[in-house]
Amino acid sequence: MKSQRILCVIGKMDSGGAETMLMKLFRVCKMKEIIFDFVVFTDEKGFYDDEIRALGGNIYQLGKRNPFIVLLRYIMLLRRNKYEFLIQSTEQAHRAILALIAKCCGAKKIIIRSTNSKTGRGILVDLLELTLRWIPNLAANVKIAPSIQAGNFLFGTRSKYSILHNGINTNEYKFDDNVCDEYRKKLNVQDKFVVGHIGRFEKQKNHIFLIKVFREILKIRPQSVLVLVGSGSLKSYIKQMASDLGISSKIIFLERRNDIPKLMMAMDVMIFPSLYEGMPNVVIEAQTTGLPCLVSDIVTDDCGLTNKVKFLSLKQMPSTWAESACDVVEDNYNRHDSYKQIKAANYDIEDVANEFLNLFYK
């Protein structure tokens, strides 16, 4: 396969699930002499910008203040660089107009990837997006999604799309007792019951409910600690909430990290009470390390690849969630990784990247 550049269209290359998936694909494709360039609609530096440039990719920052100027810059970029291959990740149908413009500017192969099962902007916005499904369906040569829920939301139930798993480097998630001990010492939680959550501090991730659940866990296991990893607009609010409840000393707030597999190895259970998801990467990753997970049943059950995952309704009381979180750990007391199971389910990033390229070049 000859050297090729693929243009990735996305808002900003931060550490969200869609962005992380693109980087996983880029790392593998780089070894096959395929380079990803990124067009982003911001002037701010993204979490992955340095790594993108280190891998040989370009980042085109088009800004976001004046939509007409941004659109003109985008068209000029497409015409100047003559990209034939493009992938856009989005959960909003109207944003696929960018892929449609690329098609008009000469792009020959366009993949649109649905990233979520809702927009998170309310029912009216979701309904409006449903009426605009014709845009991604018209623009894309290939349509992909991480789950049926995500695919149906962006493309519709009658549209033909492919499921492309949220792949991971399974070798990085092999459970290691030494790493577990090392990171529990780093976090100073050697003798604690460690509850974890990894995700943006935004409404979708439902941190408010999570804090209420953890307060109930403390009643069952007073020596518990909650490790929250991520950034976002609600982080200060959640910190204040924890303080108001008198449990802030029991919570460790961490920023975005590059050592997520090791942090997961230090945890005893992960609670994931999201209000909606396309396909949660961290649940797949957590299972691979053998970390038991308690997940809201709104999330697609496709993410339950092993017996490490238990689903529970958000209609249940926080106290019920707390009891289930403790029970799921007892059920998985002997910690061992599940990377062979995850790999067998075709979630290894090498296999996913090959499938991705087959879709692009078929």
Domains with residue ranges and CATH for the chain: 4-167+347-361 (3.40.50.2000), 170-343 (3.40.50.2000)
∠ Cα 110 55 163 (to 5°):
35
CA-to-CA distance for 256 and 259, rounded, in angstroms? 9
- As given in the structure block, the two tokens for residue 307 are 């017996």
Residuewise pLDDT in 10s, the chain (362 residues): 456 899 999 999 988 888 999 999 999 999 889 999 999 999 999 999 999 999 999 999 998 878 899 999 999 999 999 999 999 999 899 999 999 999 999 999 999 999 887 767 778 877 888 889 999 999 999 999 999 989 999 999 989 999 999 999 999 999 999 999 999 999 999 999 999 999 999 999 999 999 999 999 999 999 999 999 999 999 999 999 999 999 999 999 999 888 999 999 999 999 999 999 988 889 999 999 999 999 999 998 889 999 899 999 999 999 999 999 999 887 655 677 788 889 889 999 999 999 999 988 77
Which residue blocks in the chain are alpha helix, DSSP H? Answer: 17-30, 49-54, 67-81, 97-104, 123-131, 134-139, 148-155, 177-186, 207-220, 235-244, 260-266, 281-288, 318-331, 339-344, 349-361
Residues 358, 309: contact at Cβ < 8 Å?
no
Query: What one-character DSSP code corresponds to residue 133?
Result: T
Query: What one-character DSSP code corresponds to residue 94?
Result: G
